[in-house]
């Protein structure tokens, strides 16, 4: 009987365990994780803190007991894997509650260790109340602090996905929120003009935004920024970035790629064919350019889990590359994106042209409609789609989803005008914004 050991029991780890059992009813599967909770919806944690999701248990998809009963998979929480012995095909595991250490043999090993929040070295940081949000326990700590201590103000350091979601949810709880971001504009994966639309939304909702600066020094509730501005805040949410958890892989001599993730081939195998790597800590490749790419998001992790499960059970399905498709809610706005942004295109010296369409989400005469801005980059010679961004009210996500499908299907910018998309006044217009991008590109 083949034995598979999985390190990590959240998105990628839990999914690959379930997939393996689906395709092989006899395989022996064991999963180890340091945390106290498995298979929870990490993307939902800001909304539990914001009381949008009122039952924190609702974001837990399963428990070790339920997983064992339903899938016949053994999950051991509070267990840390300390070392991989590739020659003996064993892992050294520590029970974090008892301190006991033991060796667990494997035929195949899957690494899904995720990533850790980066906490920069800041003078006096230990004197302040500082939180990160990377797991279920982090969420519980923040939630308990807010409910028990009833703070009035917060500084969110970092204007990426977690930072913006936390800023919104904390503001909705009635806190005074300041958002500090090192780069000149927030959401650095967006083009500057698109980021500015989100910054305007933050201002409307009274989130104090300070860009081009970072926390330099703290003294309790006194926070000094690198531009000499001083702020007061009861606590800090640190969301400046994610470091892939690759220490275990590095100690085992597994190759680390140029993005800092564990290097994996088209089947998610490392340089040791009996060891796979998936999720936040794995390095993949960009669908558009073919260059190394690491995307710490849920959708790629789930896709990688499927690829690994099929490969282990005898069906070779190669990955097709990553676009980094993502979506974000910021108060009444939605921002979505896929593929290359303008900065990356310029850095890689790719020839490009851009079409922007400002219009309504659906018929302007219909009572419920909103403005959306859709921006698409493409190669002017091949007409190949390079990337797209959309910011606005309703319907933003579906426009980006269409672009994603077009890229995967090999359509050109000109093909967009011919797509027969859904139309009725509550949903779109006879010429959808996607069609308009195509028409404008042809006119160009």
Sequential DSSP letters for 287-349: TTT--EE---SHHHHHHHHHHHHHHHTT-------B---EEEEETTEEEEEEE--HHHHHHTT
Q: Name the β-bridge partners of 94.
A: 80, 101
**Three-state DSSP state, 406:** helix
Residue 317 falls inside a structural domain: no
Kindly give, in sequence order, each residue whose CB lies less than 8 Å from that of residue 223, ignoring residues fewer than 6 positions away: 128, 155, 215, 217, 230, 231, 232, 233, 236
Burial class (CB in 10 A: 0-12, 13-18, 19+), 258: exposed
Instruction: Assess whether 307 and 336 both reside in one domain.
Output: no
Write down which residue in 240, 256, 275 finishes a domain: 240
Q: What is the pLDDT along the chain (444 residues), one digit of tens a residue?
A: 899 999 999 989 999 999 999 999 999 999 999 999 999 999 999 999 999 999 999 999 999 999 999 999 999 999 999 999 999 999 999 999 999 999 999 999 999 999 999 999 999 999 999 999 999 999 999 999 999 999 999 999 999 999 999 999 999 999 999 999 999 999 999 999 999 999 999 999 999 999 999 999 999 999 999 999 999 999 999 999 999 999 999 999 999 999 999 999 999 999 999 999 999 999 999 999 999 999 999 999 999 999 999 999 999 999 999 999 999 999 999 999 999 999 999 999 999 999 999 999 999 999 999 999 999 999 999 999 999 999 999 999 999 999 999 999 999 999 999 999 999 999 999 999 999 999 999 987
pLDDT value for 1 = 85
Instruction: Assess whether 236 and 249 both reside in one domain.
Output: no
Four-residue CA torsion sign, 226, 232, 234, 239 = negative
Antiparallel, parallel or unpaired: β 115-117 and 242-244: antiparallel
pLDDT value for 272 = 98
Write down which residue in 284, 312, 340 finishes a domain: 312
Catalytic entry in 43, 154, 390, 422: 43
Return the structure tokens found at 59: 């974001």
Residue 346 · residue 407 · CB < 8 Å: no
Instruction: Assess whether 178 and 139 both reside in one domain.
Output: yes
Residue 321 falls inside a structural domain: no
Residue 132 · residue 138 · CB < 8 Å: yes
Residue 269 · residue 275 · CB < 8 Å: yes
Residue 111 · residue 7 · CB < 8 Å: yes
Residue 221 falls inside a structural domain: yes
How far, in Å, are 128, 156, 161, 210, 284 from residue 151 at the CA level? Answer: 13, 14, 23, 21, 41
Q: Residue 101: which domain range?
A: 3-115+243-312
Instruction: Give the chain's domain count.
Output: 3
How far, in Å, are 193, 222, 258, 342 from residue 370 at the CA level? Answer: 19, 41, 41, 25
Cα gap 423→437, rounded to integer Å: 16
CA 172 centroid distance within chain: 23
Antiparallel, parallel or unpaired: β 176-181 and 153-157: parallel
Instruction: Assess whether 131 and 142 both reside in one domain.
Output: yes
Q: What is the CATH number of the domain that holds 42?
A: 3.50.50.60
Q: Is 43 a catalytic residue?
A: yes
pLDDT value for 443 = 83
Give all strands of the β-sheet with 282-285 in edge-to-edge order. 262-263, 282-285, 292-293
Cα gap 307→356, rounded to integer Å: 36
Instruction: Assess whether 123 and 233 both reside in one domain.
Output: yes
Cα gap 161→163, rounded to integer Å: 6
Write down which residue in 218, 240, 262 finishes a domain: 240
Cβ neighbour number for residue 54 with a 10 Å cutoff: 8
Antiparallel, parallel or unpaired: β 90-95 and 108-111: unpaired
Q: Name the β-bridge partners of 178.
A: 155, 208
Instruction: Assess whether 264 and 154 both reside in one domain.
Output: no
Cα gap 79→190, rounded to integer Å: 39
Residue 132 falls inside a structural domain: yes
Residue with tokens 């029991």: 9
Q: Name the β-bridge partners of 3.
A: 28
Give all strands of the β-sheet with 101-105 in edge-to-edge order. 79-85, 90-95, 101-105
Instruction: Assess whether 111 and 31 both reside in one domain.
Output: yes
Instruction: Assess whether 105 and 169 both reside in one domain.
Output: no
Instruction: Assess whether 423 and 350 both reside in one domain.
Output: yes
Cα gap 399→402, rounded to integer Å: 5
Return the structure tokens found at 102: 């033991």
Residue 317 · residue 311 · CB < 8 Å: yes
Residue 290 falls inside a structural domain: yes
Instruction: Assess whether 111 and 126 both reside in one domain.
Output: no
Residue 325 falls inside a structural domain: no
Cα gap 29→36, rounded to integer Å: 19
Cβ neighbour number for residue 1 with a 10 Å cutoff: 7
Q: What is the pTM of this model?
A: 0.95
Residue 361 falls inside a structural domain: yes
């Amino acid at each position: 009987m083949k034995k598979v050991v999985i390190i990590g029991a959240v998105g990628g780890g839990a999914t690959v365990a379930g997939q393996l059992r689906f395709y092989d009813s006899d395989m022996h599967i064991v999963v180890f994780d340091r945390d106290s909770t498995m298979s929870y919806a990490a993307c939902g944690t800001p909304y539990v803190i914001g009381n949008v999701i009122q039952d924190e248990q609702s974001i837990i998809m399963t428990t070790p007991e339920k997983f064992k009963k339903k899938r016949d998979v053994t999950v051991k929480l509070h267990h840390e894997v300390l070392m991989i012995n590739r020659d003996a095909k064993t892992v050294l595991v520590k029970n974090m509650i008892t301190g006991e250490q033991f060796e667990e043999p494997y035929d195949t090993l899957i690494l899904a260790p995720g990533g850790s929040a980066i906490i920069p070295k800041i003078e006096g940081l230990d004197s302040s109340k500082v939180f990160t949000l990377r797991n279920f326990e982090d969420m519980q700590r923040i939630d308990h602090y807010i409910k028990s201590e009833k703070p009035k103000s917060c500084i969110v350091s970092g204007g990426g996905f977690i930072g913006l979601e936390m800023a919104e949810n904390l503001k909705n709880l009635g806190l005074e929120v300041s958002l500090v971001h090192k780069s000149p504009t927030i959401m650095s994966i967006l083009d500057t003009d698109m980021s500015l639309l989100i910054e305007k939304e933050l201002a409307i909702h009274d989130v104090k935004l300070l860009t081009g600066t970072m926390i330099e020094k703290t003294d309790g509730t006194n926070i000094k920024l690198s531009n000499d501005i001083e702020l007061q805040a009861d606590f800090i949410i640190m969301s400046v970035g994610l470091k892939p958890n690759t220490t275990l892989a590095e100690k085992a001599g597994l190759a680390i790629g140029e993005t800092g993730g564990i290097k994996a081939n088209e089947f998610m195998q490392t340089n040791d064919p009996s060891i796979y790597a998936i999720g936040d800590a794995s390095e993949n490749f960009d669908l558009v350019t073919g260059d190394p790419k690491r995307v710490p998001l849920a959708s790629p992790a789930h896709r990688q889990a499927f690829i690994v499960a099929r490969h282990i059970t005898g069906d070779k399905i190669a990955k097709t590359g990553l676009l980094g498709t993502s979506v974000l809610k910021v108060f009444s706005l939605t921002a979505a994106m896929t593929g290359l942004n303008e900065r990356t295109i310029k850095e890689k010296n790719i020839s490009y042209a851009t079409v922007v369409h400002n219009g309504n989400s659906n018929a302007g005469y219909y009572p419920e409609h909103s403005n959306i801005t859709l921006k698409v980059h493409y190669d002017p010679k091949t007409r190949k789609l390079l990337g797209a961004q959309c910011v606005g009210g309703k319907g933003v996500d579906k426009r980006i989803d269409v672009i994603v499908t077009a890229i995967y299907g090999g359509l050109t910018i000109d093909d967009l005008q011919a797509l027969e998309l859904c139309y009725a006044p509550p949903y779109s217009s006879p010429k959808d914004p996607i069609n308009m991008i195509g028409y404008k590109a042809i006119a160009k």
